[in-house]
Structure 1
Amino acid sequence: MAAPRQIVIQPYDHQWPSEFERVRDRLQEGLGDVAARIDHIGSTSVPGLAAKDVIDVQVTVEDLADRRLVPAFEGLGATLTEITSDHVPPGDRSGPRAWEKRYFRAPASWRPTHLHVREAGRANTRYALLFRDYLRHSTPAAAAYAEIKMTLSRLHPEDVDAYYAVKDPVCDLVMDAAEQWADGVGWSP
């Protein structure tokens, strides 16, 4: 039996943006026009935010059913997983399709990277970008979010399910403030 995966939150690393750029360049070269855009998302994309040392990448595509998608990622050495949906926030009325995605495991030769593939115009694509941009804007929200993640990693260092059972609803709370901010400043991805 494999040892449980350890959840480790570390201080912000100033190398994360340049490490994302290297991953992005590989993806752009390997995916070509399959990718409509490639964004650095998640905690490593927010300057100063403590995070797991994993670069989260959102690859936005025009159509998740594009027949070129899986072969393009496989050509990079990435592996499609069984993860096909994101967490759906409570009260969301957009329907399950709005939260559908593909998730690829990056090759072992890459630095730790999560490859989230989402379709343009869907709720989950917008969620990831707005969450990132709001935390970049609000230092207090980013600091509180970091504190929650560090506490969860101390309380549940080997229990990924417990970690996300608390973290996902916290993200939804942050998104409520993010939506108000977005309306006030006219934010768009």
Structure 2
Amino acid sequence: MPFPDEAADALVVVEYRPSWPTDFSRLASVLRRALGDLAVAVDHVGSTSVPGLAAKDCVDVQVRVDSLDEPRLVPPLTAIGFRLRPEPWNHCEVSAGHHCPKLVFAPRPGARRCNVHLREDGRPNARYALLFRDYLRASSTAREAWGAFKQRLALSVPARLADYGQMEGAERWAAETGWEAATGWEAR
């Protein structure tokens, strides 16, 4: 359930925009300044992080932290206008069969559309965001199939990410290539 000021057309998928990496870099800089050493890494994730992939015009940022139980995490983000999303699915997600905590923030009204996902570094959900991004960047077949699926999905009904059926291919690719999640500050 979006905030009242968020557009009802949130499911519109557009062609890849070369401005998305720059939009991410700006958001990452703001988040790094606000969170300082509370953030282990700031990653561009989601479809806008994959060159050539159609996506919703909403930049997804993953901020990896040591612990979501850290009481100093939320105040710096709310101080710069980010709003903690209240929906239960924005506080816990299932990745690789594990229930993983997360916090998701929306921007202040009128700001660049984005979702800021705070996840604990090393947890399956943080790994998944990086794995799926890197898999789609590396596999043109998977990228094209995923983009076509997203465009069809946007025309029909919303679905759960678990129903997308792409993780088997991403995990196979990771095993074949020796892929590992990047560590430290990242702005890509």
Task: Pick the aligned partner of 1:49 from 50, 53, 59.
Answer: 53
Flag the 1:27–1:144 CA change in 2: closer, same or farther, 3 A.
same
* Other structure's SS at 2:169 match: helix
Higher strand share: 2
Q: RMSD value over aligned CA atoms?
A: 1.7
**CA offsets, 1:84-108, max 9 Å, x none?**
012x25xx443x2xx2101111122
| Letter paired with 2:80 | L
Give the corresponding residue for 1:182. 174
CA displacement 1:48-98 (0-9 Å, x = unmatched): 000000000000000000111011211221111222012x25xx443x2xx
Instruction: Report the counterpart of residue 81 of structure 1 in structure 2.
Output: 85
| Superposition TM-score, scaled by structure 2 size | 0.86
Give me the whole-angstrom Cα distance separating, in 2, the residues matched to 1:104 and 1:4: 16
Q: How far apart are the structure 1 equivalents of 2:115 and 2:56?
A: 11
| TM-score, normalization by structure 1 | 0.86
Give the 3 Å change call, closer, same or farther, for CA 25–103 of structure 1 in structure 2: same
- Written as runs of structure 1 = structure 2, the 5 A alignment for 1:1-189 is 5-6=8-9, 7-82=11-86, 83-86=90-93, 88=94, 92-94=96-98, 96=99, 99-156=100-157, 163-165=158-160, 167-170=161-164, 173-189=165-181
SS in 2 for 1:39: strand
Gaps of at least 5 residues in structure 1 are: 157-162
Aligned length: 173
Distance 1:4 1:76 in 2: 21
Change beyond 3 A, Cα 1:4–1:58: closer
> Gaps spanning 5+ residues in structure 2: where?
182-188
In structure 2, distance between residues paired with 1:39 and 1:151 = 27
Structure 2 letter corresponding to 1:84? H
SS at match of 1:130: helix
Question: Structure 1 residues 4 and 73, CA, compared in 2 at 3 Å: closer, same or farther?
Answer: closer
CA–CA distance in structure 2, aligned partners of residues 33 and 186 of structure 1: 29
Change in 2 beyond 3 A, CA 1:69/1:4: closer
> How far 1:164 sits from its partner (Å)?
2.4
Please state which structure has a larger fraction of its residues in helix.
1
The one-letter amino acid paired with 1:17 is P
Secondary structure at the counterpart of residue 166 of structure 2: helix
